[in-house]
């Protein structure tokens, strides 16, 4: 193999592809990056068998070939190269990276052992604006589960219908649901995508807003950006029937100004940070929300003037779940709907409640 390509392009490709490298694996190939030179294209590939990322860089490829190198080291090394033009060549299983007057030599591994990324059929697909796909991911993926004992909750359910997409994630204590328009779809479909894969996909979808195609088949999903292809395995199984979980009638509704709400929660968390549940108490009475927290250091009462209808209410929450939600709400006020002190609260932006909904289980009042 012999390739000559641009330093900036190589650095960017290595850092993107590296996101799919396994951190610590019994199969060393999963920590590697495959380099392929063919027909004027230098292609970098990495996969941990769940997520796979391929990125192509225009290059001169006088000798075609392929080789596998350690992911961390290759990525760190090219990220420190500020040279315009870099030459990579292989002889005797050693990759020589030449730049300016200098060179580095890396041990390589045979590419035959590198796992192949499954091709995804292009038959079923939907088209969505980059920004809408980013929102679907970023506004819900943080609510997905992290425990291995219910692996299906480590996924985000994506539901596609004519004209719209919904993303849902839940972990047993909280739920997040976001809806966004889509440009088109070949059919109604749904997929349970590992939250980690989705986050990496969203982080790669930078740059200008434009429609992109997402291909879906039974066990795989692929985003094809031309120079970059991201493939992820889907989770197998039935997702929780989330529609039954979301209550629709309430005893108390409050409209709370977001900024003092977020600030008050941040202060209240300081006192509850040694408590496993980060418990803060809410008392709603006389158009006032009092957030209180207490510890051996002292106690705190945050009083916020709100718009409230319905019964007075006392309820307690894990403050972290609420501050996570507020980071994803862009409106000036948030609406909280309560049933009683043991039932989940529903949190939505006040003016765009149809697009975004969060649900949080209370903790027991002590």
For a second copy, which residue of 301, 309, 340, 342 counts as binding (CB under 8 A)? 301
The window from 135-143, 243-251, 291-299, 337-345 that contacts a second copy (CB under 8 A) reads 291-299
| Residue 82 binds a second copy (CB under 8 A) | yes
Rg (CA), the chain: 25
Question: Of 359, 254, 252, which Cα lies nearest the Cα of 304?
Answer: 254
**Smaller CB separation from a second copy, 107 or 127:** 107
Binding positions for a second copy, 101-160, rule CB under 8 A: 101-107
| Residue 264 binds a second copy (CB under 8 A) | yes
Minimum distance, C-beta of residue 49 to a second copy, in the bound complex (Å): 23
| Residue 300 binds a second copy (CB under 8 A) | yes
- Phi, psi for residue 150 in degrees, rounded to 5: -130, 75
Six-digit token pair at 289?
A: 């929300």
**Smaller CB separation from a second copy, 136 or 306:** 306
Would you say 341 and 314 are in contact if contact means Cβ atoms under 8 Å apart? yes
| Residue 296 binds a second copy (CB under 8 A) | yes
| Residue 332 binds a second copy (CB under 8 A) | no
| Residue 200 binds a second copy (CB under 8 A) | no
- Phi, psi for residue 188 in degrees, rounded to 5: -65, 140
| Residue 70 binds a second copy (CB under 8 A) | yes
| Residue 303 binds a second copy (CB under 8 A) | yes
Interatomic CA distance for residues 156 and 139, integer angstroms: 11
| Residue 298 binds a second copy (CB under 8 A) | yes
| Residue 250 binds a second copy (CB under 8 A) | no
Helix intervals (H) in the chain:
7-17, 71-79, 130-138, 195-204, 258-272, 319-326
Would you say 52 and 20 are in contact if contact means Cβ atoms under 8 Å apart? yes
The window from 30-38, 78-86, 125-133, 341-349 that contacts a second copy (CB under 8 A) reads 78-86
Interatomic CA distance for residues 323 and 178, integer angstroms: 17
Residue with tokens 């979808």: 205
Would you say 153 and 141 are in contact if contact means Cβ atoms under 8 Å apart? no
**Smaller CB separation from a second copy, 80 or 276:** 80
**Smaller CB separation from a second copy, 44 or 176:** 44
Would you say 143 and 318 are in contact if contact means Cβ atoms under 8 Å apart? no
State the residues that interact with a second copy by CB under 8 A: 70, 73, 76-77, 80-82, 94-95, 100-107, 263-264, 266-267, 270-271, 296-305
């Amino acid at each position: 193999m012999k390739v000559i390509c641009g330093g900036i392009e190589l650095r960017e490709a290595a850092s993107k592809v590296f996101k799919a490298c396994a951190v610590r694996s019994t199969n060393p190939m999963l920590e590697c990056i495959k380099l392929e030179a063919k027909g004027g294209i230098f292609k970098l590939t990495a996969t941990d068998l769940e997520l796979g990322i391929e990125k192509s860089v225009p290059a001169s490829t006088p000798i075609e070939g392929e080789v596998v190198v350690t992911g961390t080291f290759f990525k760190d090394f090219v990220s420190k190269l500020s040279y315009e033009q870099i030459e990579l060549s292989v002889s005797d299983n050693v990759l020589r990276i030449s730049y300016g007057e200098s060179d580095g030599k890396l041990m390589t591994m045979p590419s035959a052992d590198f796992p192949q990324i499954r091709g995804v059929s292009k038959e079923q697909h939907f088209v969505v604006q980059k920004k809408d796909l980013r929102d679907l991911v970023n506004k819900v993926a943080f609510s997905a589960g992290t425990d291995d004992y219910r692996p299906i909750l480590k996924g985000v359910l994506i539901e596609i219908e004519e004209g719209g997409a919904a993303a849902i994630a839940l972990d047993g204590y909280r739920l997040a649901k976001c809806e966004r328009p889509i440009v088109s779809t070949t059919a109604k479909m749904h997929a349970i995508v590992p939250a980690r894969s989705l986050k990496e996909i969203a982080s790669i979808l930078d740059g200008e807003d434009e429609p992109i195609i997402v291909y879906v088949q039974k066990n795989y999903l692929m985003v094809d950006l031309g120079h970059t292809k991201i493939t992820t395995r889907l989770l197998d199984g039935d997702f929780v029937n989330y529609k039954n979980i979301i209550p629709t009638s309430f005893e108390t509704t409050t409209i709370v100004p977001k900024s003092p709400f977020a600030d008050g929660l941040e202060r209240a968390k300081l006192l509850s940070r040694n408590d496993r549940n980060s418990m803060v108490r809410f008392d709603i009475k006389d158009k006032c929300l009092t957030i209180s927290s207490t510890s051996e250091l002292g106690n705190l009462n945050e009083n916020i003037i709100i718009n409230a209808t319905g019964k007075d209410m006392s309820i307690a929450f894990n403050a972290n779940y609420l501050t996570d939600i507020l980071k994803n709400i862009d409106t000036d006020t948030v609406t909280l709907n309560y049933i009683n002190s043991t039932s989940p609260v529903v949190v939505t932006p006040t003016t765009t409640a149809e697009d975004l909904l969060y649900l949080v289980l209370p903790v027991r009042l002590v």
